[in-house]
């Protein structure tokens, strides 16, 4: 039985980057507590697969909408499609993003633009268009997925870290701007999580060195992101906005 604070039955959540990785785990978590979902990515086949799997596991209604969130025109079309399907969007999770490591001396203009467009422009314009619909109902919650690297620094991660730090500042500013419309805006900052793509790395010397710096002495398991997302999306935090929540095993404490 779902505790009422965390019950999202009847709510509609839109998740960018929702077809894989932590975004997929977030989608499963929200469906488990009753939310209906609109998953967004650029690849319709991935969306169809995940939507079918979540529906089968939870019984919730799930749609996949292919869109490029670096294009405002595509965002506007996507939001219109989700509104036509559900009639409302209660929760926006700006999760789509890219990572990587490049020394500044080797950073090409095109790579910098890619970081800025996906990690920052996308969330800004998704918030703009989804927030306009939320404001009509005077209710909504937005979760911007930032990163541990909004707080700490690492070599060769200047472009990634800059966009994620900017996203936290955008979150705080938007929270202040939209509080009058009863729209809560918070940031979620994951640390290192094990995924199929990086699983082997944690057994290497470099991977073990990172783990040694994490106070909890391990990386996260993907399902461990779900409770944090449920908390931020639910009525358990109705008096929280402009907050940054780290889920990182304590890594941000020590850098």
The DSSP element (H or E) to which 172 belongs, if any, is helix 158-178
From the DSSP assignment, how many helices (H) and strands (E) are in the chain?
A: 9, 7
Q: In the chain, what are the helix, strand and coil shares in percent, each to the nearest 5?
A: 55, 15, 30
Strand ranges (DSSP E) for 163-242? 183-190
Catalytic residue among 28, 86, 160, 192: 160
Q: For 19, what's the count of Cα atoms within 13 Å in the CB-facing half-sphere?
A: 17
Q: How many other CB atoms are found less than 10 A from the CB of residue 64?
A: 23
Q: Two tokens at 203?
A: 């057994």
Bridge pairing between strands 62-66 and 36-41: parallel
Q: What is the DSSP string of 39-89?
A: EEES-HHHHHHHHHHHHHHH---EEEEE--TT-HHHHHHHHHHHHHHHS--
**Dist. CA 85–CA 225, nearest whole Å:** 28
User: Is position 160 annotated as part of the catalytic site?
Assistant: yes
Say if residues 86 and 9 touch (Cβ distance below 8 Å): no
Q: Two tokens at 194?
A: 């094990």
DSSP 214: S
Active centre residues (catalytic): 160
């Amino acid at each position: 039985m779902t505790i009422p604070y965390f019950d999202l039955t009847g709510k509609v959540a839109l998740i960018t980057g929702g077809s894989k990785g932590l975004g997929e785990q977030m989608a499963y978590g929200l469906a488990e507590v009753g939310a209906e979902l609109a998953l967004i990515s650029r690849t319709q086949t991935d969306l169809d697969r995940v939507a079918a799997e979540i529906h089968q596991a939870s019984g919730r209604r799930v749609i996949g909408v292919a869109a490029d969130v670096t294009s405002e025109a595509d965002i506007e079309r996507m939001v219109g499609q989700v509104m036509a399907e559900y009639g409302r969007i209660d929760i926006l999770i700006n999760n789509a993003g890219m990572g990587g490591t490049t020394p500044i001396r080797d950073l090409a203009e095109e790579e910098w633009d890619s970081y800025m467009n996906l990690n920052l422009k996308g969330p800004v314009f998704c918030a703009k268009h989804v927030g306009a619909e939320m404001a009509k109902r005077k209710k909504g919650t937005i979760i911007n997925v930032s990163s541990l690297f909004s707080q700490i620094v690492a070599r060769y991660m200047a472009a990634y870290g800059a966009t994620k730090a900017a996203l936290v500042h955008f979150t705080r500013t938007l929270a202040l701007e939209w509080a009058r419309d009863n729209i809560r805006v918070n940031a979620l900052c994951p640390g290192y999580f094990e995924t199929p793509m990086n699983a082997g790395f944690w057994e290497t010397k470099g991977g073990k060195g990172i783990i040694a710096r994490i106070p909890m002495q391990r990386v996260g398991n993907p399902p461990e992101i779900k409770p944090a997302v449920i908390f931020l999306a639910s009525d358990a935090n109705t008096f929280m906005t402009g907050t940054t929540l780290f889920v990182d095993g304590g890594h941000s404490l020590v850098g």
